[in-house]
Amino acid sequence: MEWLEQLEVILLDWGYFGMFLSALLAATILPFSSDAVLMGLVAAGCSPVGIVATATLGNWVGGLISYWMGWLGKLEWLEKWFKVKPETIAKHKAKVDKFITELTGITNEMLETAPTADAAFLDLYHFIMETCTDGAPPTYYAYGNSDADFIRHTIKYMTNPISCMCAQAIQGNLVDYAETVKKFFGAKSDLALRKIYMLIKSQQEFVQNHDALEDAKMLQTVVEQLHNKCKPADKNIILNMTSQKKPQLNGAVKSAPPIFIEWNNYSKWESPTGADENDWVIKMVDQHAKDKPMYFKDLDTAALWIIKFVARNMSPKKEEHIERVKRAIVKSNSDNRCRYNCYT
C-alpha cells in the first residue's frame, strides 16, 4: 500500500521515536510491520542495541494497548469496525467457553440463572453478619491473586452500596495464603493448593473440580493444618506429585427448569410459584423477613426457589442438590427448625 510506504519514510526520519511508533503500531491490530524501519535505522547508523531496546519498548506498549482494547471492546465491534466474520468470532468464543467449562464445570446455561454480583455480595454480607458475632473482624483468605483481581474488576459494575462495601472490605483485607505456603516450604514459585491438601490428608491422589465451595474448604484445611501437619522438608514430596489434568465435561448439559429461568425477571419476593395464600401446599417464612411468606404448589418448586434465592453453590441442574434441599424443607417442617434461613 502506498500510504504504508509513505508512513515508513516518515518514521525513518524520526529516528528512535519513529522506531518506537512503528513497533507500537505493529503490535496493535493495524496492518503494519516494523522490520523495514528497524533495518533502515540500523543501516543509517543508529545503535543496534538502542534500536532493539526502543523496538522492544514500543512492541510492549502496543501489546498493552491491544489487550486494553480487547478488554474494553465488544464482539459487535470486531464485526462492524474490523470486518471479522461472525463465524470466526463464534469459533474462537466456543474454544474459550469449552476451556472454562472443562476447567470449572460452569456453562453458559448456568450463567443465565446465576445471581448478579450485587446479589451475591449482599448474601455474603448477611452471612458474615450472622456468623461473626464476637465483634472481631473476619479474616479473608485466598490462594493466589486472581480473587483480588476479580473483585477489583467486578466492583466497577456493582451498584448496591452494601454489596460494594462488602466487596471493598474483602479486597482490602484479603490474605494471599499461597505466599504463606511458599515461604513455609522455601519454594521459589507458588505450590498448587491441591498438592498441599493431598500432603495434609496423606492422599496419593485427589481430583480437584475447581468448584468454589470445594476450593474454599480445601483452603480452610490448609490454613488450619499447614503448620501442624507439614514441615519444610516436605517440599520434595510436593514437587514429585503429579499435576492434575484438566477436568472433562461428561455428557450433555442439563437445562435449568423453565420456572427457574423465569425467576430471572423477578425479585426474590415477587417470583411466581404457582400458589398463593389461599391455595398452597408449602408455606415458607424467611427468618429475616417474616412478614413476607412464600407459598409453593409443591416441594420441587420450593426447593428450586431456595436454590435460586437462598442457597449457595447449588445448581438447579443437579438432582442431588434439589434432593438435599427437599430433605431440609421436610425436616424443617417436622422439627420447626430454621434451615436455609427459612421455616416451613
- Residue range 147-205, pLDDT digits in tens: 998 999 899 889 999 999 999 999 999 999 999 999 999 988 889 899 999 999 987 77
Residue 105 covered by a domain: no
Q: Is residue 183 domain-shared with residue 269, that is, in the same domain?
A: no
Residue 103 covered by a domain: no
* CB contact at 8 A, 38 and 49: no
CA distance 287 to 53: 65
Q: Is residue 281 domain-shared with residue 229, that is, in the same domain?
A: no
Number of domains the chain contains: 3
pLDDT one-digit tens code per residue, 312-322: 778 888 888 88
Pairwise pLDDT comparison (66 vs 179), residue with the higher score: 179
Query: Which range of residues forms the domain containing residue 336?
Result: 258-343
Residue 187 covered by a domain: yes
Q: Is residue 185 domain-shared with residue 298, that is, in the same domain?
A: no
Long-range contact list for 309-317, CB < 8 A, 24+ apart? 309/263, 309/268, 309/271, 310/286, 310/340, 310/341, 310/342, 311/340, 312/123, 312/213, 313/211, 313/212, 313/213, 315/110, 316/113, 316/256, 316/257, 316/260, 317/109, 317/110, 317/253, 317/254, 317/255, 317/256
Strand, helix or coil at 282?
strand
Q: Is residue 185 domain-shared with residue 234, that is, in the same domain?
A: yes
* CB contact at 8 A, 190 and 178: yes
Q: Is residue 233 domain-shared with residue 262, that is, in the same domain?
A: no
Residue 127 covered by a domain: yes
Residue 318 covered by a domain: yes
Q: Is residue 290 domain-shared with residue 211, that is, in the same domain?
A: no
Q: Is residue 266 domain-shared with residue 235, that is, in the same domain?
A: no
Q: Is residue 69 domain-shared with residue 21, that is, in the same domain?
A: yes
pLDDT of residue 188: 84
Q: Is residue 143 domain-shared with residue 217, that is, in the same domain?
A: yes
Q: Is residue 226 domain-shared with residue 141, that is, in the same domain?
A: yes
Q: Is residue 232 domain-shared with residue 131, that is, in the same domain?
A: yes
Q: Is residue 172 domain-shared with residue 132, that is, in the same domain?
A: yes
Strand, helix or coil at 285?
strand
pLDDT one-digit tens code per residue, 90-149: 777 787 788 777 777 777 777 878 889 999 999 999 999 888 888 788 899 999 988 998
